[in-house]
């Protein structure tokens, strides 16, 4: 079954019919390939898949999310300041472009990646054309969250080039019983940090979609709920609350998604169904994510036509930018070649997580559009890809 672009807006019934014809295992395959939850009875899963597939951001005839005008604020701040990252220009947005802000959660330090996605048409070696999209890494930073407390609400709407990696806080360097540290976790401080962070990022990057890493209350196979995980969970909830309030006030038209890190890992083969909470298992997954991002960035400047099964990401090259510095530092540390002149990155995993999250979400959206348009043909391609990956191992 192949659905035409013209019929997509009315494709609920044909899509439902096709999904109903699939076996439960095939429905789960579709769910895993598109980042959709797969528990529940067959009819429940089928209905969930139909709804989520039709919501793909890459389907035609779907009204684009409009980017809001930035507030006119010329004030600057030592922590939140205009940098060399390129900005999304409202006049340049053609309605088909996406501005993706992907946030990896943390309560001391968090990281974010800003991706610009535009329709693309590239010629292959055989002369054929592959229609897809180009993804540009526009900004990539790690932020010391507690340093946001020093910024007054008056300055919170200024643009952000983010706090450089070298200025982020080292979790191990802060005393466990420090009164200052305990105060930084008070609800009023966290609420202020959440607002300052989001209002600044939205003002700077005008996202059409915001991705926030979902938190788990238990990790490492522990039966107890750790205080640290509760704190991060509270901060995650505050971010969503701030965004919802801003949406209601008309200050943030972006669509917000919570993204499961376990589902991201499973998509790239780093975790089996149900996950691996052991210390060695989590260490292996972390290494896998860091290596994936390192390989993609290392190939980002390659002129060869990229594989359709892997994200295509480009780095701005027109002029020197903060993102070029971060990418160079990441690749240097990833390859183990550190020089005294290079800007060092404290941790690779936070940066890797936020970028991998954004790229994976785009992969899911692309595959959802493929399933909605191509049906059984798309399923066949996914099954062939899974079989190929299995043979490699």
**H or E segment to which residue 110 belongs:** strand 109-123
Indicate whether 110 and 162 sit together in one domain. Answer: yes
Indicate whether 181 and 281 sit together in one domain. Answer: yes
Indicate whether 246 and 308 sit together in one domain. Answer: yes
Residue 7's pLDDT band (cuts 50, 70, 90):
low
Q: Is the pLDDT of residue 243 over 50?
A: yes
Indicate whether 123 and 259 sit together in one domain. Answer: yes
Q: What is the DSSP letter of 166?
A: G
Q: What per-residue confidence (pLDDT) applies to 162?
A: 41
In a domain, 102, yes or no: yes
Q: What per-residue confidence (pLDDT) applies to 62?
A: 46
Indicate whether 381 and 349 sit together in one domain. Answer: no
The model's pTM is 0.79
Indicate whether 116 and 213 sit together in one domain. Answer: yes
**pLDDT 10s digits, 100-110:** 999 999 878 89
Helix (H, G, I), strand (E, B) or coil at 210: strand
The count of structural domains within the chain is 2
Segment 172-188 shows an average pLDDT of 61
8 Å CB contact between 86 and 225 = no
Q: What is the DSSP letter of 147?
A: G
Indicate whether 362 and 378 sit together in one domain. Answer: no
Angle between helices 376-392 and 24-34 in degrees, nearest 10: 80
Indicate whether 133 and 42 sit together in one domain. Answer: no
Indicate whether 339 and 316 sit together in one domain. Answer: yes
Which residues, 6 or more positions from 304, have their beta carbon under 8 angstroms from its beta carbon? Answer: none
In a domain, 81, yes or no: no
Helix (H, G, I), strand (E, B) or coil at 318: coil
Q: What per-residue confidence (pLDDT) applies to 159?
A: 42
**H or E segment to which residue 190 belongs:** helix 187-205
Residue 337's pLDDT band (cuts 50, 70, 90):
confident
Indicate whether 42 and 117 sit together in one domain. Answer: no
Q: What per-residue confidence (pLDDT) applies to 199?
A: 94
Q: Is the pLDDT of residue 2 over 60?
A: no
Residue 270's domain comprises: 90-369
Which residues, 6 or more positions from 24, have their beta carbon under 8 angstroms from its beta carbon? Answer: 42, 45
């Amino acid at each position: 079954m192949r659905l035409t672009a013209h019929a997509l807006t009315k494709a609920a019934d044909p899509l439902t019919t096709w999904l109903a014809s699939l076996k439960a295992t095939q429905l789960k395959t579709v769910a895993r390939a598109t980042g959709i939850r797969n528990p529940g009875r067959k009819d429940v899963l089928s209905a969930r898949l139909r709804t989520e597939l039709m919501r793909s951001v890459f389907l035609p005839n779907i009204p684009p999310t409009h980017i809001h005008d930035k507030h006119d604020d010329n004030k600057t701040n030592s922590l939140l300041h205009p940098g060399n990252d390129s900005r999304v220009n409202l006049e340049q947005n053609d309605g088909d472009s996406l501005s993706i802000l992907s946030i990896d959660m943390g309560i001391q330090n968090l990281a974010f990646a800003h991706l610009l996605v535009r329709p693309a048409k590239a010629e292959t070696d055989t002369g054929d054309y592959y229609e897809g999209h180009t993804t540009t890494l526009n900004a990539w930073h790690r932020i010391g969250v507690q340093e946001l407390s020093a910024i007054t609400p008056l300055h919170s709407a200024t643009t952000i080039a983010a706090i450089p990696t070298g200025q982020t806080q080292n979790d191990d360097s802060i005393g466990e019983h420090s009164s200052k540290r305990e105060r930084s976790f008070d609800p009023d401080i966290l609420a202020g940090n959440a607002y300052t962070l989001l209002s600044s990022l939205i003002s700077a990057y005008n996202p059409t979609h915001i991705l926030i890493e979902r938190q788990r209350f238990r990790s490492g196979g522990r039966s107890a709920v750790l205080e640290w995980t509760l704190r991060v969970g509270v901060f995650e909830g505050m971010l969503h609350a701030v965004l919802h309030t801003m949406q209601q006030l008309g200050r943030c038209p972006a669509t917000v998604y919570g993204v499961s890190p376990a589902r991201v890992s499973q998509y790239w083969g780093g975790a089996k169904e149900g996950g691996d909470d052991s210390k060695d298992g989590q260490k292996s997954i972390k290494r896998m994510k860091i290596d994936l991002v390192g390989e993609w960035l290392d190939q980002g400047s390659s002129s060869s036509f990229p594989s359709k099964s892997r994200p295509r990401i480009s780095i701005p090259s027109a002029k020197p930018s903060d993102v070029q510095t971060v990418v160079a530092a990441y690749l240097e540390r990833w390859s183990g070649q550190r020089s005294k002149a290079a800007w060092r990155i404290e941790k690779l995993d936070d940066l890797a997580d936020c970028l991998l999250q954004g790229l994976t979400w785009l992969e899911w959206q692309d595959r959802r559009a493929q399933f909605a348009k191509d049906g059984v043909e798309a399923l066949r391609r996914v099954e062939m890809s899974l079989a190929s990956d299995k043979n490699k191992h």
